[in-house]
Amino acid sequence: MDNKTPLADRFPDDFIFGVATSSYQIEGATREDGRGPSIWDAFSNMPGRVYQGHNGDVACDHYHLWEKDLDLIQALGVDAYRFSIAWPRILPNGVGAVNDKGLDFYDRLVDGMLERDLQVFPTLYHWDLPQALAGYGGWTDRNTADAFANYASVVMKRLGDRFDTVTTFNEPWCACHLSHLLGIHAPGEKNREATVRAIHTMNLAHGLGVQAIRAERSDIPCGIVINAMSITPATDNQADIDAAERQFQFDNGVFFSPIFDGKYDDEFNEALGELLPIQEGDLATINQPLDFWGFNYYTPVKVADATHSSSVFPHTKNVTATNRKDRTDIGWEIGAHGLSDLLTQVYKRYELPPVYITENGACYNTDIGEDGKIHDEQRTAYFEEHITECAKIIEAGIDMRGYFAWSLMDNFEWAEGYKMRFGIVHVDFESQVRTIKDSGYWFSELSQTHRANADAKEGSDNDVVADDDFEV
């Protein structure tokens, strides 16, 4: 336990350590209690879209096991739980009649969190768009922005009095670029015009959503979560430096600049601005003041110039590391420096509010050993390296308020199905048995050491739970 103290002591006393999940990845019960279908229900049941035809019909069965899962989070001794609310549980058709049974579920969940002294960090949208809205164009249709604002209002009216913060969107890059340009995520489209339209609609939905949230609960801190790409040029050549800037504008600037500066970047505008369906007043609506923003970080990106006669904006190509030892099991390069590089860059470019690391973690498919335990040393090393980087960036003057490990437990990993495991808790998807991994114990000890040290400064005594004290 003592080895956690030096790292824990580097964080402010009010710093939050938490765990994160999302609705479609863990809840299951996709056809129960009035929930409508989402685009991921449709996508994952299409042949060839998801690894081995896996889907979220059962997932981690959190819809039925939520009390045990909250007990597990409490046993881990973290401060907060970041989760998402399933839009199709609340409004099965995206608009229209409200499904009270869906709200009832989140009522129970939030109350259960409060009973266990967990801070409540909900996200309103983590990719499970109601399928009915997809029939009208989904995120390429401007009306979806109004539908989202209505949904945000419904949630805040019923649940907002118990939230500690609220986030509009999780990773808009994935919901736009992966979903409409690369075709990897639902709805599986490969169309640049659709991608640009989705970017603007989602930005507009964020702005309208913030307005709706504050109309119901002006006292709840509000933000957005961006999986900003930490982009560096492949060489010191000016062509590669320029390429990295174009890639930044295409991946990051399309969200940061309208949300925090009220505009789209010049080179992006010059290349693709004619595809943006901007109406008068849109940019002012998008540019709502925020109380915080969330940064999801996993891997750095390196790009080189790829300008030629047939290339399209941003005219780049990715340059990947060749050493497989420096990658996780999903193939992502490891580089904690990317976390601080990106934060340093965006705080120079924009006037930003405080930040939370809302997701950070690693995919290692370590199974249960003969001793009944999961010895995932690589994940523990990943956490230690990246959390140390967080301490450095705080010491450098950036106002970071918390860190959420991704993920609480192994779950449905989107197009990878159940093949890839990010959890600090192992899930046997047949039996639904949860087993805390070594990385989970490490993270738990860090969080509890931090809390105990903070409490000790206030004159209170808070025991830290050891491995043998867990009962799950």
Domains and CATH numbers, the chain: 16-434 (3.20.20.80)
pTM for this entry:
0.96
Q: What is the pLDDT of residue 4?
A: 80
DSSP assignment of 316-365, as one string?
EEE-----GGGB-TTSPBP-THHHHHHHHHHHHHS----EEEEEE-----
Q: What is the pLDDT of residue 33?
A: 98
Q: What is the pLDDT of residue 469?
A: 47
Q: What is the pLDDT of residue 462?
A: 44
Q: Which of 27, 171, 245, 384 is catalytic?
A: 171
Q: What is the pLDDT of residue 59?
A: 98
Q: What is the pLDDT of residue 3?
A: 65
pLDDT in tens, 360-418: 999 999 999 999 999 999 999 999 999 999 999 999 999 999 999 999 999 999 999 99
Q: Which of 359, 384, 413, 445 is catalytic?
A: 359
Q: Which residues does the chain have with pLDDT short of 50?
A: 1-2, 461-462, 465, 469-472
Helix, coil or strand: residue 166: strand
Cβ-proximal residues to 182 (8 Å cutoff; 6+ apart), any chain: 190
Is 359 annotated as catalytic? yes
Is 171 annotated as catalytic? yes
Q: What is the pLDDT of residue 11?
A: 98
Q: What is the pLDDT of residue 472?
A: 40
Cβ-proximal residues to 345 (8 Å cutoff; 6+ apart), any chain: 230, 248
